[in-house]
Structures are given as structure tokens and as C-alpha cells.
């Protein structure tokens, strides 16, 4: 089990390399981030940003989204894939936000996960990026990188999240997740990790692997 000092070193090395990353999903409000996060499932951020430009031009907030015909939303978001499920969830979430939360996206984990299509990962994205509250989203990159390094030895996202929550200062969680995701995309990729040029190589258990 990695110590607090090891976790801090991990953060510091990644921060030196990438700095503050910010959320790659374009948004102006919490609702727009919620919509973008929903569309990002199995879809690249660049494509989500292209699609949300069109989507937010016709439905920029929960009120307008709740009144949209599903077939219209589905057609707009088709390039993101899974468009039937995503459009249904998007409209259902907008309706719940209107009916239960008076048009404002709630800002607690407990409330966020009651919205259709929102799980812990998406809720943590919202907490950290829309509400500036502690949130550590665990995606496939976070799971892979932290396991390869040896910081965790567990696959369940919630257990990884709880480990980080217990070892890392809450104020760092959001950027820490961004940093690991960026490192996973640029260096510690699933198929071809570039261990030779990796800033974490001296502390990585899996250094030199070709593939896990």
C-alpha cells in the first residue's frame, strides 16, 4: 500500500510535467458539463465538444433540454454513439433537475447519482469541475496507470476512489485525476506505454512492460 508521501510524490511529478490541466469538455454551466459528461461515454472529448456546440445552441439549459423531442436530441448527438440511450438519459435528467431541483444541477454526490445516466465517475467530474468541490473521477486511464505503478492493486473504481480519498489532500483530487488521465493518454497508454520517457518510471512497478 503506497504511503501518503508516495502519493504526494506521484502528484508532484505529474504536476511538474503537466501543471493544472482543466476540464477538456467545453461548458459554461454545470448543466452543460453534465450533458457533455453523459455524451463522453465511449466517445473522444474532441467529438463531444463538436457535438455540444450544436446541442447547446438549441438546448443550453435543463429547461430547454427537458422540452426537446428525443428524436431531435438523438439526431444531434448521433456522432457520439449510444445516441438512443444518451438522449433518453439526457432528457430524463433534465426533467428531474427541473422537477426536483428547480432547474439547478445538484452539487452533492448523493443527489447527483439519482440523475439518470450519472454514476460516481460523472458525479465526481461535476463536483470537481463545476462546483469546485473535492471529487476524484476514476476512468479507465486512472485505473490502468495507478495499477501499473503499484499505487493500488484493485480494479473496482470505487475502491480506487476511496484509496485516493484517504491518501491525498481533497484539494488535489480533481487535478490529480486530470493529470493521471493525461499521462495515461500521452505516455502510459494501454497498448504501448512509453516507459523510457515516463516521469514516473523510477517509482513504477511495471516499468518496461510491453502490455498489461
Active site residues: 121, 139
Contact 148, 206 (CB under 8 A): yes
CB of 206 to ligand SF4, least distance (A): 4
| Binding footprint of ligand SF4 on the chain (CB under 6 A) | 145, 148-149, 187-188, 193-195, 198, 200-201, 204, 206-207, 209
115: Cβ contacts below 8 Å, ≥ 6 apart? 34, 93, 96, 97, 106
CB of 173 to ligand SF4, least distance (A): 20
Q: What is the DSSP letter of 202?
A: G
CB nearer to ligand SF4: give 102 or 196: 196
CB nearer to ligand SF4: give 128 or 193: 193
The phi and psi torsions of 200 (rounded to 5 degrees) equal -100, 5
CB nearer to ligand SF4: give 68 or 200: 200
CB of 75 to ligand SF4, least distance (A): 40
The phi and psi torsions of 107 (rounded to 5 degrees) equal -120, 30
First CA to last CA across the chain, in angstroms?
20
CB nearer to ligand SF4: give 167 or 201: 201
Look at residues 139, 147, 138 and name the one whose alpha carbon lies nearest to residue 212: 147
d(CA 23, CA 36): 11
Give me 208's grid cell. 518496461
CB of 121 to ligand SF4, least distance (A): 21
Amino acid at each position: 500500500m503506497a504511503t501518503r508521501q508516495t502519493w504526494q510524490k506521484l502528484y508532484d511529478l505529474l504536476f511538474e510535467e503537466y501543471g493544472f490541466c482543466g476540464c477538456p469538455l467545453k461548458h459554461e454551466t454545470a448543466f452543460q458539463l453534465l450533458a457533455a459528461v453523459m455524451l463522453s461515454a465511449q466517445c473522444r472529448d474532441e467529438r463531444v465538444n463538436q457535438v455540444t456546440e450544436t446541442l447547446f445552441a438549441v438546448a443550453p439549459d435543463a429547461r430547454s433540454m427537458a422540452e426537446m423531442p428525443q428524436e431531435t436530441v438523438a439526431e444531434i448527438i448521433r456522432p457520439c454513439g449510444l445516441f438512443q440511450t444518451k438522449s433518453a438519459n439526457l432528457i430524463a435528467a433534465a426533467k428531474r433537475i427541473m422537477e426536483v431541483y428547480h432547474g439547478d444541477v445538484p452539487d452533492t454526490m448523493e443527489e447527483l447519482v439519482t440523475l439518470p445516466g450519472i454514476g460516481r465517475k460523472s458525479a465526481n467530474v461535476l463536483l470537481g469541475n463545476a462546483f469546485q468541490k473535492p471529487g476524484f473521477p476514476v476512468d479507465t486511464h486512472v485505473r490502468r496507470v495507478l495499477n501499473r505503478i503499484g499505487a493500488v492493486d484493485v480494479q473496482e473504481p470505487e475502491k480506487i476512489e476511496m484509496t485516493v480519498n484517504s491518501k491525498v489532500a481533497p484539494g488535489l483530487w480533481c487535478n490529480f485525476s486530470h493529470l493521471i488521465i493525461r499521462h495515461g493518454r500521452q505516455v502510459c497508454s494501454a497498448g504501448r506505454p512509453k516507459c523510457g520517457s515516463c516521469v514516473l518510471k523510477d517509482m513504477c512497478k511495471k516499468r518496461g512492460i510491453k502490455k498489461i
